[in-house]
């Protein structure tokens, strides 16, 4: 999990960690920012609480986001060293769109947490809206007189909206299809089954039996496309691919 702390609120961190942990072992946790800036004063406690490694980066010039560059460099180092098969990138802007595309081209799963109107959302394998995760800071009432309306005028409290978390099984299935060898854009069911089993062994999150893979794929018709091909000797073979978003 790589967090662009310059562009998200510290309150996002708790649920971002929870989302990433649902996808498998969260071995790498880093947050990038200028920790000497006034706006970063609330981050240290949250970073310690969730065991996230702070990566400090002074801005090298006004208007230049050096933390973004540092995050991208680390992401590519992790990729080339083979330390991860899935990435969770948390950011409030579109700066990491190309990074998400590049990681997906390499067969990695990319979970984005950010603003839905950003091109970054479309570049990710799955996406969670940042508005659903942020928690409002308590208002400063020290110098304000707060008037409490009579009980009969109070409205019923509105329950906080819950973020829609990615389906861990679907995430594992998409990762397996992406990683399997493709012929003219299609991966054989057998190859996907092998990758699906490997992904589950790595993350410990996939408990789906391999024998029910075909049944599982049919549960996600809007995400996965299935093709049956007749063989020359009368048999059939099945291939799959991810549907375009």
Domain ranges of the chain: 2-132, 168-242
CA–CA separation, 111 and 100 (whole Å):
9
Mean pLDDT across 216-229:
87
Residue 81 pLDDT greater than 70, yes or no: yes
Q: Which residue has the higher pLDDT, 180 or 163?
A: 180
Instruction: Identify the residue whose tokens are 């060293």.
Output: 81
Burial (CB count within 10 angstroms: exposed 0-12, middle 13-18, buried 19+), residue 129: middle
Question: Across-strand partners of 4?
Answer: 32
Highest mean pLDDT, choosing among 19-23, 104-108, 113-117, 153-157: 104-108
With pLDDT > 90 as the criterion, what percentage of the chain qualifies?
22
Q: Confidence class of residue 99 from pLDDT cuts 50, 70 and 90?
A: very high
Q: Which of 238, 194, 235 is nearest to 218 (CA)?
A: 238
Which pLDDT belongs to residue 140?
A: 46
**Cα–Cα distance, 58 to 182 (Å, whole number):** 43
pLDDT over 90 (residue 125): no
What SS3 class is residue 90? Answer: strand
Q: Given this model, what pLDDT does residue 165 score?
A: 53
Higher per-residue pLDDT: 223 or 164: 223
Average model confidence (pLDDT) for the chain? Answer: 79
Q: What is the pLDDT of residue 166?
A: 62
The better pLDDT of the pair 7, 145 is held by 7
Contact indicator for 208, 200 with CB cutoff of 8 Å: yes
Please compute, for residue 223, the number of CA atoms within 13 A of its CA located in the half-sphere on the CB side: 18
Distance CA 94, CA 105 (A): 18
Q: Quick one: which H or E segment has residue 239? A: strand 236-242
Stretch 227-234: mean pLDDT: 80
Give 2-132's CATH code, choosing from 1.10.3720.10, 3.40.50.1010, 3.40.190.10, 3.30.360.10. 3.40.50.1010
Q: Is the pLDDT of residue 50 over 90?
A: yes
- Classify 168-242 by CATH class: alpha beta
């Amino acid at each position: 999990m790589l967090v662009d702390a310059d562009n998200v609120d510290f309150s996002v961190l708790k649920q971002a960690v929870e989302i990433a942990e649902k996808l498998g072992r969260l071995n790498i946790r880093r947050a990038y920012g200028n920790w000497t800036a006034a706006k970063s004063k609330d981050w240290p406690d949250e970073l310690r609480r969730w065991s996230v490694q702070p990566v400090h980066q002074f801005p090298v010039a006004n208007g230049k986001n050096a933390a973004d560059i540092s995050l991208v460099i680390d992401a590519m180092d992790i990729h080339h060293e083979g330390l991860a098969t899935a990435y969770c990138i948390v950011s409030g802007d579109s700066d990491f769109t190309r990074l998400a595309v590049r990681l997906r081209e390499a067969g990695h799963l990319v979970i984005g947490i950010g603003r839905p109107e950003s091109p970054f959302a479309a570049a990710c394998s799955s996406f969670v809206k940042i508005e659903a995760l942020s928690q409002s800071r308590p208002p400063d009432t020290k110098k304000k007189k707060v008037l409490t309306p009579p009980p009969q005028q109070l409205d019923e409290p509105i329950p906080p909206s819950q973020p829609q978390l990615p389906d861990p099984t679907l995430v594992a299935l998409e990762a397996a299809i992406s990683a399997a060898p493709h012929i003219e854009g299609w991966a054989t069911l057998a190859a996907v089954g092998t990758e699906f089993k490997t992904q589950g062994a790595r993350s410990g999150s996939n408990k789906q039996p391999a024998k029910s893979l075909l049944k599982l794929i049919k549960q996600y018709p809007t995400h996965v496309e299935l093709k049956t091909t007749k063989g020359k000797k009368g048999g059939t073979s099945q291939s799959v691919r991810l549907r375009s978003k």
